[in-house]
Structure 1
Amino acid sequence: MRVFLGNAPWSKEGLIGVRAGSRWPHLQDPCDPYLPFPFYLAYATAVLEKEGFEVFLLDGVAERISTEEFVRRCADYRPDFILLEVSTASIEQDLQTVAALREKLPEAKIAFAGLFPEAGESEFLQQHPEVDYAFRGEYEYTLREVAQALARGEQRTDHPGTSCRDASGRVIVNPRRPLIENLDELPWPARKPLPMLNYHDLPGGLPGPSLQLWASRGCPFHCTFCAWPQIMYGGDKYRVRDPVDVVDEMEAVVKEYGFRSVYFDDDTFNLGKKRMLALAEEIIRRNLCIPWAVMARADTSDEETLRAMKRAGLVSIKYGVESASQEILDRCEKGLDLSKVEKTVALTKKLGINTHLTFTFGLPGETRETIRETIALAKRLDPDSVQFSITTPFPGSKLFLQMEAEGNLVTKDWSLYDGSNVAVIRQGDLSPQDLELALRTAYDTWQRHKLLRPLYRPKEWRKFLKHPGQSLRKYKNEYRHKKKLAAQRKAAEAG
């Protein structure tokens, strides 16, 4: 049996989409190099290959191919089963891709998976007969079970984690599949079919090319806006891998591809002090000497662990801050103490570890004053890099239900749900346009802050003196970006 797994191309009005591997599927400028590794697709491929299936994994986003080329390569493979990872913001184009595939491959079974839980609802499958299955949550074992049944000629409709149709056409919505308890039983992700040097996430100045890894899955915290714990995992269960196996993978893949760094893109990496220290010790014991970065929480970091990870090569940390308002953080159930954030960021910088901070505009309780405070906090914390976004309530999240109940959703045009360019909510007396302006203002202010930073940060001067050509190109690009943002802001205000 031949199985095709794909991340289809996605673009709109000159922007390109980022989907598989992203907790925040969105559209971005084609010049933006950010590209996450498609973890679920790669793990699912490895699981199927281990069971003896013929598998073709194609990341059309990473390869920057057209939809026509994506469909042609899939059709040429003649698969019996097709799985596409989809998302809320891309679903319109995902359905167009399926229609093209269905025309070429009328007998193939087609499944959707990923960050669009609506696909598993009865109404969706009734409206879209071209889609045979929808997989809910993490889907490696769901896909394996369905593929094994079809290979035996069984037309079962009772697979946990799936929605499908019975022989009469009635849609069957099955319960969610239990999470994979032992992550160490999973094979390492399949990487050979993928353009590994194209994947790019370098927080805080991490050198590239960089390997993206997972050392854990899930998060025990309860942020109402966070998509993966709620949609992909269905709760707050936190699961970890054996640190030795993690470092085995890190060492082997870095050696195979010549990566210059490693980024642990876990939901929350730094939980469990004993495990953190064991992982750092294992890296030191093997003398790997490779810089790495992590996605973490500021309030679960402590000096001993940070120092140990620094000795093991940690050079950068992403911390999610979201807002300068403690009340807003409490209302979205993040459980984060802002006073600890300021202390942890200061400590992290003192230890010589670069910081990347993330903020969002539009959470419940947002006002013009809290927006100004958040921008001011970003400047005061002065991270090496920063991300601002517009709060987007993904279907399937508590925030979506809250926004819907309060009448704060302004549209259910899913193509607008990317949080990168367009606001789909109102908040208090803030209109969607106000939130979009807040995003542009934040980036405009940050770019101005960065341009002035070399005047008071010795580290910036050292960077400039060490790499003058690279630094000049960087500031030239940032100046152009600043002008572009200013033009966008002016156009928005005029409109």
Structure 2
Amino acid sequence: MKILFVYPPSSYLNHSMFKHFTYFAETIDLVSKKYSHISVLDCAVEMKNRNQIYEQFRNADRLILLIEPYNIRQSLELMEIYKFMTKTGRTIVYGTAAALVPNYLSMRPEVDFVIANGNFAEAILHVLDSGRLPVTPQDKIINIEVEHHTWGCSLDTNAPLDLYKYWGNGMFEFTVQVGCPFHCSFCSEKILFPTGKGAVFAQRPVEEIISMLKRIRASYSSVYFSATTFTYDREWVKKLCKRIIEEDCIVPWRSDTRVDCLDEELLLLMKKAGLCQLSLGIETFEDGLLKRVNKHQTMDRIMETIHLCKETGVNVKALLILGLPGQTSEEVLRTQELVEKLEIPYRWKEYSPISELHRKDVRKEDVTEELDSFSRNTFLANSIEGISTEKYMQLLFPEGYVR
């Protein structure tokens, strides 16, 4: 069986290669352990002409696409072309969008199978092994639960890692955690790894991480540990940092966490093990707004943790969300003023109504309009009374906004 993995094109290249390294290349690695005839087409980082794409389509028995909310339109177009070219080929979609709107995708004639949770490789292998054909739209939706998460290694694939390295400014990214023990309403992780019989929070074994660091330290300038809350399990973090120091495989690295999962001992140990930046999921400094989105932390705790990071010499970055449900212009401007006074790097990101989108799909309502809003040709432009479009764009792009 000849398999073609495709990362569809989007309107512009993302600043992070996170999903290329992790969702895409790591999944390819796990599938390739059983199926050897695998080709890779990453249209998001490399321009291909029509003949090159069509040639790969003609040679593929199975087309597997990583589908995200911002590339659904392009993904459906590619599958429609593939279906026109082959009568026996089958399509499989996986990724965030597949988990968010499985019912919508299952109704599309160009889609044969929808992987509806974050156990990508296990579900893809299940489809490939079974060889069955779906009879109804519901048959297309595949949910596989696993007791133990398996971890892929992008280094062992034929994905275009040289391009990921180039566009990612020399940073290597790999998954060290999946799932999340928290319940923030704006996050997709609980949809990818819902509570059930399978594992909902897992961490890559420490020795696997050490092995990866030894392989990449000579080729990459830095590392991003992809984690939902890197410091949630402090004993795992301590073990990892101590092993990095013992094995002398220190590479500048960064990750993400919450302000209520840090202490002085952990910060000092991580810094000694090569931590160069820790991104904090702050979202907003408004206690009422944090409570509404199930982010159970307070402004006092946020300020306390930021000051602790400064005292220990750990570089931090504040991750903020613009357009949270009910967010007012006063709340936005107060948060902006506070983060500027703290003199730390920060980044505003648009709120994405993924939970609302998923609930609507569960009810089998039409989600076409909502999906169109995720297109990267436009911005979601969440309406905040008192914040002009110009101000909104200046917040999102403080250095690159041109009137």
Please list the CA deviations of residues 115-136 of structure 1 after superposition, one character each: whole Å capped at 9, or x if unmatched: 2246521x5433x212111111
Residue in 2 that maps onto 1:442:
395
Aligned residue number for residue 423 of structure 1: 380
Ranges in structure 2 where 5+ consecutive residues have no aligned partner = none
With over 3 angstroms needed to count, the CA separation of the structure-2 counterparts of 1:181 and 1:190, relative to structure 1, is: farther
Whole-angstrom CA distance in 2 between matches of 1:47 and 1:421: 35
Is the 1:389–1:419 contact (alpha carbons within 8 Å) kept by the matching residues of 2? no
2:380 and 2:130 map into 1 onto residues whose CA distance is 43
- The answer on whether the counterparts of 1:35 and 1:62 sit within 8 Å (CA) in structure 2 is no
Tell me, in whole angstroms, the C-alpha distance in 2 between the residues paired with 1:173 and 1:240: 30
1:323 equivalent in alignment to 2:306: no
Segment drifting more, 235-244 vs 340-349:
235-244
Aligned-residue offset at 1:191: 4.6
User: Where does residue 346 of structure 2 map in the other structure?
Assistant: 386
**Aligned equivalents of 2:357 and 2:282: distance in 1?**
17
Please report how far the alpha carbon of residue 41 of structure 1 lies from its aligned counterpart in structure 2 after TM superposition.
2.4
CA distance in structure 1 between the partners assigned to 2:43 and 2:228 by the alignment = 24
Compute the displacement of 1:253 (Å): 2.9
| Correspondent of 2:85 among 89, 104, 109 | 104
CA pair 52-441 structure 1, distance change in 2 beyond 3 A: closer
Residue 233 of structure 1 pairs with residue 193 of structure 2: yes
Unaligned stretches of 5+ in structure 1?
Answer: 19-32, 157-164, 448-477, 488-495
Deviation at 1:366, TM superposition (A): 0.8
* Equivalent position to 1:246, from 172, 194, 209: 209
SS in 1 for 2:326: coil
- Are 2:148 and 1:182 equivalent residues in the alignment? yes
Distance in 2, matches of 1:352 and 1:201, equals 29
Q: Secondary structure at the match of 2:74?
A: helix
- Among 173, 188, 194, the alignment partner of 2:159 is 194
Q: Tell me the alpha carbon deviations over residues 339-397 of structure 1, each in whole angstroms, 9 at most, x when there is no partner.
A: 121121222233222222111122123111101111112212222x3221221102xx2
Q: Distance in 2 between matches of 1:3 and 1:331?
A: 45
Native 8 Å contact 1:280 1:308 kept in 2 = yes
Residue type matched to 1:6 in 2? V
Question: Alignment partner for residue 290 of structure 1, among 231, 237, 251?
Answer: 251
| 236-245 or 106-115, larger mean C-alpha shift | 236-245
Question: How far does the alpha carbon of each residue in 1:67-117 deviate from its partner, in whole angstroms, 9 at most, with x for none?
Answer: 7366235225x1111110112232122111112222233321011111224
Q: Provide, for residues 407-461 of structure 1, a one-character-per-residue CA deviation record: whole Å limited to 9, x for no partner.
A: xxx992423226895236546xx38xx47444324257xx4xxxxxxxxxxxxxx
Instruction: Name the count of aligned residue pairs.
Output: 394
1-structure distance, mates of 2:66, 2:330: 39
**Contact in 2 for aligned 1:44/1:143 (Cα 8 Å):** no
Q: 1:300 to 1:119 in 2, by over 3 A?
A: closer
> Any residues of structure 2 matched to 1:289-368 within 5 Å, and which?
289-368=250-329
Q: Given that residues 34 and 200 in structure 1 are in contact (C-alpha distance below 8 angstroms), is that contact kept between their aligned partners in structure 2?
A: no
Report the counterpart of residue 129 of structure 2 in structure 1.
Answer: 148
How well do the aligned residues superpose, as a CA RMSD in angstroms? 3.1
Aligned partner (choices 170, 176, 179) of residue 209 of structure 1: 170
Distance 1:74 1:392, change over 3 A: same
Q: Do the aligned residues in 1 keep the contact of 2:100 with 2:191 (CA within 8 Å)? A: no
Match of 2:220, SS state, is: coil
In 2, Cα distance between the equivalents of 1:43 and 1:348? 32
Look up the SS of the partner of 1:106 in the other structure: coil
What displacement does 1:247 show? 1.2
Aligned-pair identity in percent equals 20
> Are the structure 2 counterparts of residues 61 and 124 from structure 1 closer, same or farther at C-alpha, using a change threshold of 3 Å?
closer
- Kindly indicate whether the alpha-carbon contact (under 8 Å) linking 2:381 and 2:389 is maintained by their aligned counterparts in 1: no
In structure 2, the residue matched to 1:457 is none
* 1:232 partner letter: L
Q: Deviations over 1:141-181 (max 9, x none)?
A: 0111111222xxxx26xxxxxxxx31xx5642657321x43
| Amino acid paired to 2:23 | Y
| Distance in 2 separating the partners of 1:421 and 1:345 | 34
2:26 is the counterpart of 1:43: yes
Kindly report which structure 2 residues correspond to 1:387-406, keeping only aligned pairs within 5 A, or say none: 387-394=347-354, 397=355, 401=359
Letter in 2 for 1:172: D
Residue 435 and residue 330 in structure 1: after superposition, are their counterparts in 2 closer, same or farther (change >3 A)?
A: farther
Deviation at 1:201, TM superposition (A): 11
Aligned partner of residue 353 in structure 2, secondary structure? coil
- Normalising by structure 1, we get a TM-score of 0.72
> Which residue number in structure 1 is paired with residue 139 of structure 2?
172
Q: 1:216 touches 1:269 (CA, 8 Å); kept in 2?
A: yes
Shift of 1:314: 0.7
Which of these residues, 52, 62, 70, is aligned with residue 45 of structure 2? 62
TM-score by length of 2: 0.87
* 1:265/1:294 contact within 8 Å kept: yes
Shift of residue 324, structure 1, vs aligned partner = 1.9
Q: Distance in 2 between matches of 1:437 and 1:320?
A: 25
Q: Name the structure, 1 or 2, with higher relative contact order (CA <8 Å, separation 6+).
A: 2
